[in-house]
Amino acid sequence: MTPRSESSGSHPKKTAGEKIPEQPTAAQQKSAAKKTAVPKQAAAKKAAARKSAPAQSPATKSTAAKPTAKPAAAKKAVARKAVEKKAVAKKAVAKNTGPAKATAAQSTAKKVAATKAAAKKAPAKTAVKKAAVKKATTTKAAAKKATTAKAAATRATAAGPPAKKAVAKKAVAKKAAAKKAPAKTAGAGKAAARKAAPAQVVPPEMEIAVSPAVDAVDRERLLGGTHHAPHSVLGAHPVPGGVAFRAFRPYALSVTVVAGELRAELHDDGEGFFSGLLPLREVPAYRLLVGYEGTVLDTEDAYRFLPTLGDLDLHLIGEGRHEELWTALGAHPTTHEGVTGTRFSVWAPNARGVRVAGTFNFWDGTGHAMRSLGSSGVWELFLPDIGEGELYKFDITRPDGSRTLRADPLARRTEVPPATSSVITSSAYEWGDAEWLDRRAEAPAHEAPFSVYEVHLASWRPGLTYRQLADQLPGYVKNLGFTHVELMPVAEHPFGGSWGYQVTGFYAPTARLGTPDDFRHLVDSLHRAGIGVLMDWVPAHFPRDDWALAEFDGRPLYEHEDPLRAAHPDWGTLEFDFGRREVRNFLVSNALYWCEEFHIDGLRVDAVASMLYLDYSREAGQWTPNEHGGRENLDAVAFLQEMNATVYRRVPGVVTIAEESTAWDGVTRATHHEGPSGFGGLGFGLKWNMGWMHDSLQYMSHEPVHRKYHHHEMTFSMVYAYSENYVLPISHDEVVHGKRSLVSKMPGDWWQQRAGHRAYLGFMWAHPGKQLLFMGQEFAQGAEWSEAHGPDWWLLDPGYGAEPEHRGVRDLVRDLNTVYRATPALWRLDTDPAGFEWIVGDAADDNVLAFLRLDPEGTPILAVSNFAPVVRQDYRLGVPEDVPAWHEAVNTDAARYGGSDITNPDPVKPEAQPWHGRPASIRLTLPPLSTVWLRPA
């Protein structure tokens, strides 16, 4: 669009209801005159000022009171000069139209009336007296010269705008001639008196008026979406000559300023621009009446407001230390300067311009340009009368001039996918979990019972909303005895098949299941049921969708600028640039956001290994060593340390869990404790034991006859069990994509598969570390999990023939959790070698493992697993001699679980026969494919 040439000074039309501001009264003029005169000449100057007055308009002449005792000559001179002034004024009005000019003429008329009223009160003056006055004032001629010129310019302004310089020059020349003429007549004396009355000039800022129209350069930038400071152009601004009002309202037919009783229609400058210069001394409180075809919108002017972000916010954002970033950036319904609306802000440092587009402007952001807040890279705009539920995006002009429409990176609510817009929202939720929050910090996670039920919310019971899940999930999990649920990523994601691991809305719970407050209700319901809530968090990477974070403002911003560092080799996504402080701030604040705003009790951080290594899934030549020549991603290390330290400092009782599959040193070590590698710890609370998971499932997949050759796969975990604080995960990753469900990994017939499944769970719950089990595995679902249909709940239908077998496995899980939570030996010293003792770990030929778990007081529980499909009678095991008897606490072969019901029903007493290096021993009957727990009687 070709920009219009610079305005020549057109002015808005004067409306019928326009209120003209009053000019100074005669008393005010008198006071001002006293301040500008030399004290010795005060009396003479005052007398002259009372007689002086500017040229009268016809209106003034007809309404002002006539002075008394004036000589006939003086009257004639005044009348003659009034006629001359009237002619000049008419000529100026004819050439210059608009309310500003009419107002100036009426102001002059009021000045004349006020001056004549003052003159009426003064005694008649003689020509001699006037000559004396002139003589007294001529000594000040040099000093008054500038003031006289000002008065002339002011009178010229009253007749028309400053753009008409010819009129102003003519008035100045006329005044100069009057100065030089001798004051020999009454008329001349009056002219001299007028010359000595500078008190009637308007304030200096109104001396030389300016054109109110937006200039050509600003017009082009506003139309093109590249203006970084629209508030400096649009809105109301004091300028020489009054207050300039400028509005940019595409598609509007008219714009009228309303300030109290004042109504002034702005001039239509074309292309959606409107402007006007009103003779006001200061910017008033005002609204805009914007006329469109068929309607008139009464609204506030978005460009009259100060920024909604303060210096502290911008300073913290610039430093990458704004721990509550979600309160500064994004869209927030608020009341600003007494006006309700929504404040928008976004970080886009490479953008040439940013505008807000949404349902409120029919997705045309042309008229809603944001301002750039200094060097922070933040753009901001407060839009009055915009509230919750409106959809929006940011219309960004890239460095190359092209445009892109982007969802808000800090949107706290989104449309339901596949729609991609952000939604304005605020929370009104009232929490009821204060008791839970107070209690959760009583003990650290690694010293407390911690068994986790992993849930994919969208498919746990397909079709349920957050609020419907709140009616079912807490009761189900509580009945099974789990201490926590872990929710697979609930942050918004465009593709359901990613299970939530390719996030586009890092600050928004997925809209598929409801609103953010609905999600709060689910978390609250779980807490009130005594269940902690963990959430999968994905700071490693993000998808390449062109409406989300990828090259957000036209250049790499959230991703690394080096393409080799940016591209994730496994998932076709982009890795975050952990070395950029604003990106780290975005992620650290996001971790806090979920914990503080949604009361999340822990974050399981996904794909940590892919963050820690520069050569992760990359071949030689595809990565660059760090500054020390190593393969460690030092930026990612610093980010993880900062995130963990910040979360643990700000949110008591939370836990962070790393999904880290390598032998990185110090994943759960404190960040300030340096390890052998020279790095401080990463600062996590717990780490997934991926090695244990892999080894133990590998062992269980072998036929029992071959297991003796793989016995070490079940014992090796104890070599490193206390190097970190571990979680034992049987997660969704182990039951999808051809890996088969847990029960289907077991060899043998259906009975043996279920028996192996139960024995494995018994071994897992007794092993040092915390437990995690994915949904569906608690009742031995035979099919792989699919997000399309979720668990096979029909297996628990009483009408299904094999229902007792599946229900028996679920009953076992409940009993394992019940005994586990009631037995401190199974969790109190999970991270302390003093809490574990082998009884027998080398019985490979028997496929038997036996060990003790101990609490801090030394109270033991004995776990024995027989992974052979045969019964072992009178199997002798060494035990502590100070336990008088043992009885079964759990037997996975019990009939109620679907087993063969080979048990040890009576207390088992130790014999004084040394065995396995211990002074006493017991003899047990070991059921086939089973795990038995025994505790002191």
Q: E strands along 366-440, which residues?
A: 371-372, 378-384, 391-397, 403-406, 422-423
Tokens of 859: 């109270």
Alpha carbon distance 266, 273 (integer Å): 9
How many angstroms separate the CA atoms of 935 and 407, rounded? Answer: 58
d(CA 153, CA 864): 105
Tokens 């009631």 — which residue? 822
Q: Which of 218, 606, 635, 830 is catalytic?
A: 606
Burial call 164-181: b when 16+ CB within 10 Å, e when fewer: beebbebbbebbeebeee
Cα separation values, 893 from 361, 703, 704, 777, Å: 68, 19, 17, 18
Dihedral pair phi/psi, residue 545, rounded to 5°: -50, 135
- The angle subtended at Cα 724 by Cα 719 and Cα 726, nearest 5°, is 90
Contact 731, 454 (CB under 8 A): yes
3-state secondary structure of 645: helix
How many of the other CB atoms lie within 10 Å of CB of 701? 16
Three-state secondary structure string covering 63-94: HCCCCCCCCHHHHHHHHHHHHHHHHHHHHHHH
Q: What is the CB-side half-sphere exposure of residue 125 using CA atoms within 13 A? A: 27
352: its two tokens: 């040439």
Pairing state of beta strands 295-299 and 330-336? unpaired
Q: Give 206's DSSP letter.
A: G
Helix H or strand E encompassing 334: strand 330-336
One of 301, 577, 601, 659 is an active-site residue; which one?
A: 659
Which are the contacts of 767, defined by CB distance < 8 A and separation ≥ 6? 692, 717, 728
Catalytic residue at 265?
no
**Strands 655-658 vs 602-605: parallel, antiparallel or unpaired:** parallel
- Collapsing DSSP to helix, strand or coil, 836 comes out as strand
| Residue positions counted in the chain | 937
Give the integer Cα–Cα distance in Å for 690 and 728: 8
Residue 618: CB atoms within 10 A of its CB come to 16
Q: 791: which 2 tokens?
A: 């668990």
The set of residues, in sequence order, having a beta carbon less than 8 Å from that of 350 and lying 6+ positions away, is 377, 398, 399, 553, 554, 555, 557
Give me 573's structure tokens.
């996504």
Decide if 714 contacts 764 (C-beta within 8 A). no
Place of tokens 């460690």: 632
End-to-end CA distance of the chain: 90
252, exposed or middle or buried, with CB in 10 Å at 0-12, 13-18, 19+?
buried
Strand order in the sheet with 242-248: 235-239, 242-248, 273-278, 267-270
The answer to whether 849 and 760 have CB atoms below 8 angstroms apart is no
Phi/psi for 835 (5° steps) reads -90, 5
Torsion of CA 537, 539, 540, 544, to 10 degrees: 100
Q: Which two tokens stand for residue 406?
A: 């982007």
606 in active site: yes
- Compute CA 916 distance to the chain's CA centroid, rounded to the nearest angstrom: 61
The two structure tokens encoding residue 491:
């942050």
Cα 398 from Cα 226, distance rounded (Å): 9
Residues assigned a catalytic role: 606, 659
